[in-house]
A = this chain, B = another copy of it.
Amino acid sequence: MNEAAAPGRVGDVRRRNLSLVLDSIARTGDAKPSRAQLAAGTGLTKAAVSSLVADLVESGLVSEVGLYRDGERGRPGQGLELSSRRGVVGMEINVDYLAVGLVDLGGNLRFHSAVESRNRGLAPAKVMERLGLLAAEVKAEAAAANIAILGGGLAVPGLVDAQRNLVLSAPNLHWEQEELNPRALLEGAPLGVRLSNEANSAALGELWYGTGQPDFLYVSGEVGVGGGVIIGSELYTGPGGTAGELGHIVVHPDGPGCSCGGAGCLETFAGQEAIFEAAGTPQGSLGERTELLLAALAAQEPQATQAVHDAGRYLGVALASSARLMDIEAVVLGGHFAVLAEWLKPALLTSLERYAPGLLDPGNLTVSTLEHSGTLLGAAGQVIRSVIESPFEFLLASKLA
C-alpha cells in the first residue's frame, strides 16, 4: 500500500458540490445565474443548490445582485455572482519592472500599477521592499473600494517551491535558493501569498482571462524563453514542477553553448539577447532596444529582418517537437514574441509546416491579448482558483473568524 489515497466520506459530496456551484457561477460570469439556472446547469436539485448557495453567500464568496427578469412570466430569480467585494492581489517581479494589480473574485482587474526597476542582481530583500511599496498602494485602493483582500499571488521569472516560499533559481535575476517572505506583503490576508513561475502564471492568465481554449502552449519570450503547457484547462507541471522549459529544447545539435550548460538550445537562437545581438541592436535598456529593433524591422533592414526570421525558424523547430511529443494543437505567443509577432509569424509558420506538416493549424497560432497584465492575472487567478476548487476549507476558516 504505497499510496494512501484518502477515503471518501459522506461530507465529501458537499465539498464537491460547493465547488461545482461556485465554479458554475464563475463560468457563467456576467450572466449572473439564479439558483434555478444553477440547478439546471449542474444537475443538482433546486433544494440542494439553495442549501449550497446559502453557505456560499454566508461566507461572502457569493452575493445576490438584484432580481433577474427574462421578460417571461413567473417569479424572477435572484442573480448570483462572485463577490466583487473580495479580491486577490496579483504581483510580478521581472527583470526590468515590478507590477501589482487587484483582481476581484469575478476576475476583473480593478486596479493596476507598475514601475520600472532594474532587479537583475539586486538582493531579494531590496526587491521585496520595493514591491512592498506597490503592495501598500494596492491595499489602500482596496480599502477605498471596500474590497477585502483574501490573498495574493507573486510571479517570478524562475523556478519556485510554492510550499516553502522558496525561489530555487532565477538565473535572469541572478538569484539562487532565495527564501522570500511573500506573506509579509499582505499581512492579514487569510490565504497568504502564493509564489509562482512567471511563464506558468502567464499561461494560466491566458487560460482564465484570455482566449479560454482548454489546450495550448503559451510561449513567454521575456529575457529567457519560457513556456507554460495548458492541457484540459490545467497547467501541466510535470512530476518535479519544472515542465515547459521550451527555451532549452535542442533545436540544433551543433548549436552554441547555452547558459544552462547545454548546447543548441532554443534560447541561444530566439532569446531576447540572441535576437538583439543577431539584429545588431546596440546595448541599452530593454525598452530602448525594443524600440530600435521594431524601427529596424519597419525599415526592412536586412540584418534585423534576418535575425527575427531565424528566431521564428528555430521557434518553429521547438514547437514542432513539442507538438509531436505533447500533442499540442494550439500556441499562444506572449512577451517579446507577441511584440515581434508581425515579423516572426511568417518564418515560424513556414518552419512549422516544414518540420511538422499539417500538425498545427495556422489559425491556432495566436498572440496573447493580455499584454503585461497576463502574468498578474494568472498569479492572482491561482489563488482565486484554489478557492473555487475547495470552497469548503474557506467556509470553515471564515466561520471560525
Contact = CB atoms under 8 A, between A and B. Distances in A.
A245 interface: yes
Contacts of A262: 320, 354-357
Contacts of A320: 250, 262
A20 interface: yes
Contacts of A23: 5
A237 to B, nearest CB: 7
B263 A7 contact: no
Interface string A242-255: 11111011111100
Contacts of A253: 251-252, 313-314, 317, 355
Nearest to A10: B13
Contacts of A214: 239
A264 B43 contact: no
Given A262-B320, A322-B325, A17 B10 contact: no
A317 B329 CA distance: 23
A328 interface: yes
A37 to B, nearest CB: 8
A4 B41 contact: yes
Nearest to A241: B327
A215 B231 contact: no
A3 interface: yes
Contacts of A176: none
A328 B238 contact: yes
A261 B16 CA distance: 47
Contact of A325 (B43, B231, B245, B313): B245
14 contacts: A7-B20, A8-B13, A10-B10, A12-B16, A227-B325, A229-B325, A231-B238, A243-B327, A249-B324, A250-B355, A260-B357, A261-B358, A264-B355, A326-B326
A246 to B, nearest CB: 7
B4 A8 contact: no
Nearest to A269: B253
Contact of A239 (B2, B327, B358): B327
Contacts of A24: 1
A325 B246 contact: yes
Among the interface residues A17, A20, A355, which one has the most CB atoms of the partner chain B within 10 A?
A355
Contact of A17 (B7, B325, B327): B7
A327 B33 CA distance: 41
Interface in A38-56: 41-44, 48
A287 interface: no
Contact of A7 (B1, B43, B326, B357): B43
Closest 7 CB pairs of A and B: A238-B327, A8-B16, A243-B327, A215-B239, A8-B13, A261-B357, A1-B41
A27 B44 contact: no
B27 A1 contact: yes
A28 interface: yes
A9 interface: yes
Among the interface residues A4, A263, A327, A329, which one has the most CB atoms of the partner chain B within 10 A?
A327
B41 A243 contact: no
Contacts of A7: 16-17, 20, 42-44, 48
A240 to B, nearest CB: 5
Interface in A280-327: 313-314, 317-318, 320-322, 324-327
A250 B311 CA distance: 16
Given A27-B2, A249-B321, A253-B317, A329 B239 contact: yes
